[in-house]
Amino acid sequence: MRKLIACLLAAALLLAVCGGGAEEQPARDYDRLTVAVTSPMTGNFFTGRWGNNTSDTDVRALIHGYNLVYWDVANGVFAHDPTVVSGIMATAAPGGDRTYTVVLQPDLVWADGTPITAWDYAFSLLLSLSPEMDALGGTGEKPLWIVGADAWAAGEAGELTGVRVMGEDQLSVTMKGEYFPFFYELALLSCEPAPISVIAPGVRVADQGRGVYLTNADEAVTEPVFTAALLERTLLDGETGYRTHPTLTCGPYVLTAYADGVAEFDLNPRYKGNALGQKPTIPHITFRSMAQEEMIPALQRGEVQLVNKAAGTDLVGEGLALAAGDEAFGYSSYLRSGLGFISFNARDGILGDNAVRQAIACATDRDALMAATVGDNGQRADGYFGLGQWMYRLLNGTMPNPAREPEESASAADKAAYAEAMARWEALQLSDIEAYPLDPAQAAMLLEEAGWNLNSAGEAFRPGQDTLRHRRDEAGNLTPLTLRLAYARGSAAGAALEEILVPALAEVGISLTVEAIPLAELLPQYYHNVSAEYDMYFLATNFSLVNDPSAAFGEEEGAHVWLTSGVADEELYEAAVAMRKTQPGDLLGYCTAWLAFQVRFAEVLPAMPIYSNIYFDFYPRVLQSYPIETSISWPQALDSAFLADYVPEETPTLEEEEIFE
């Protein structure tokens, strides 16, 4: 990886030499940081129930806060946030259920100064599981591990029995025993407060000793106030809905404006800080998407102070050239914990057949797609993982495994245990994952065997003469092998999909149409919040810290289905469950289950991985103490960052060097 960055930097130096030296620097506004990204926001600023676009999740990290737990980067575990929680106790029931009792810090407040209490956390859990949210099309992950969650989510229970509120500052959450062991155990307690006064005015949370529930704030009102119609108004209204315009929050910043793809934020003066007590200091933030070719010029002019998650070949090259030629600019690079991929819509039609999905994988030159999209900045991905994920790094050898060789004086049992552990680690080979090397002949054979062996006249398909494969259905009608793929308008991958993928599939008898649509239209189709109009979707994702792919499944007609594609496969689901049910701290057990999941994923292909890559952030050096390499994302990195004059270090003269010696 160092060699790759060095090569990019060398090219940048050459560009810098050819393009001239440093330019006069623009005047700096140290009260505002303008952040530019390539992925536009879609307005899901409250919850991931309507999608998890990376720019939307960045906004959520800026404005929401006080989660009961946080990711402890130094120790690689989830822990309770001491800024939020003053005490926590776990107790286990004989049947295996586990209850976490939490006492909140007394000084938590919303941005308007009103207190945050245990009732706000209880409302957040009730809302996330409510059938009313489902009625509005809010799909996605729910905390179904809470006792009583299934009945509450189905509208069959009067209370959420697994959640209790014992006072303004105390609540308990009981988890189902079937979810234990859970590798990321304390992550099950993840919860941020939600303001009932804004989202459900006229409603309150109550607890009569059997669990929490929602009731009318005014007991004289007989009809239930909490309805899907209420939430449609308070959450989804295009001008005032909390989903796109969350007015009352408790994170490090408050959203002050969102229009025309640009979001504005001001510091929240009442924010206590993160788990380490850090608070951001930059008063104002502007966050916007921008075409790649506009980013570096805007950075040079001072219109942008941070280009985040740069990955495209041209953009990275321009940024490195700027940093190499002008000491006033710098950059950071970090491995992406995500990937670019093509998702298959297998619920209806042609791609419900795994042989067709495999044929597409065999016919696709993924190396060429990767090169055209991220160039030398990326690496082909054969599984559902990213370069920055710790399990991938353990298995490819860039991170040492935790097995430690015992001292020479150690017992024979300790030495045998070490030898066994090393043998198990060495047996975990990424090469076990099917790579689908480019093989048009194999693709053609798979299609033939799947019945796509006729031409438009119903005769045997003749490679080299016929152009489009057909299959005869049960009614005797000919079905052409035609597919449609959608990608987000403005994506740098669009041209590559048209120039590389379309002719590659045509070579084996598949007709593919590629179309660009707005990301705000693509994501709801991908998540099946609305009817999916395309057979394939080109996307990129960044993985959650809680790597639990079992959460990507749902039950449909008694089968476990990968929700975004509709592929039903019990073996894949069981492999995902085996990952989450690994004992906390058992890295070897988790990696063993993770590899088994990757092997099966490559066999059934709910999606076709294309690449993972290195990210680059570019910025003027006036942005200081910005630790993006060790942060979850740029909002978290801002907790310690600040804007101030940059004084370059002077290179010592020869005489000074001699004196130092």
What is the model's pTM? 0.90
pLDDT tens per residue, range 87-117: 999 999 998 999 999 999 999 999 999 999 9
Counting beta carbons within 10 angstroms of the beta carbon of residue 42, is it exposed (0 to 12), middle (13 to 18) or buried (19 or more)? buried
Tokens 């909002």 correspond to what residue?
A: 635
Q: Where are the beta strands (DSSP E) in 299-452?
A: 306-310, 329-335, 338-344, 378-380
**Which pLDDT band, with edges at 50, 70 and 90, does 566 fall under?**
very high
In the DSSP assignment, the letter for residue 537 is E
Residue where the block lists tokens 């942005």: 623
Q: Which residue type, as a one-letter code, is found at position 207? A: D
Considering only residues 661 and 200, tell me which one the structure prediction assigns the higher pLDDT: 200
Residues 453-485: tens digit of each pLDDT: 999 999 999 998 999 999 998 888 999 999 999
Q: What is the mean pLDDT of residues 558-566?
A: 94
- Closest Cα to residue 30, out of 621, 647, 618? 621
pLDDT for the residue numbered 279: 95
Give which of 176, 605, 99 is closest to 364, Cα–Cα.
Answer: 605
**Cβ atoms 255, 287 nearer than 8 A:** no
338-344 vs 77-80, strand pairing mode: unpaired
Domains of the chain: 2-40+260-335+622-643 (3.40.190), 65-246 (3.90.76.10), 338-407+432-613 (3.10.105.10)
Q: CA 351 from chain center: how many Å?
A: 25
Q: What angle do CA 555, 557, 561 make, to 5 degrees?
A: 40
What percent of the chain stands above pLDDT 70? 94
**pLDDT at residue 309 greater than cutoff 70:** yes
pLDDT digits (tens, 9 = 90+) for 249-284: 999 999 999 999 999 999 999 999 999 999 999 999
Distance of alpha carbon 202 from the chain centroid:
34
Return the SS3 of 266.
strand
Distance CA 554, CA 563 (A): 6
DSSP state for residue 94 in the 8-state scheme:
T
Beta strands in 74-169 (DSSP E): 77-80, 85-92, 98-104, 163-167
- pLDDT tens digit string along 584-610? 999 999 999 999 999 999 999 999 999
What pLDDT, on a 0 to 100 scale, did the predictor assign at position 50?
85
Does pLDDT of 173 surpass 60?
yes
The answer, yes or no, to whether residue 5 has pLDDT greater than 70, is no
**Element housing 325 (H / E):** helix 313-325
Per-residue pLDDT tens digits for 343-361? 999 997 899 999 999 999 9
Structure tokens at 403: 């097995």
pLDDT 10s digits, 407-431: 999 999 999 999 999 999 999 999 9
- Which of these, 40, 53, 35, lies nearest to 490 by C-alpha position? 40
Dump pLDDT digits (tens) for 213-232.
999 999 999 999 999 999 99
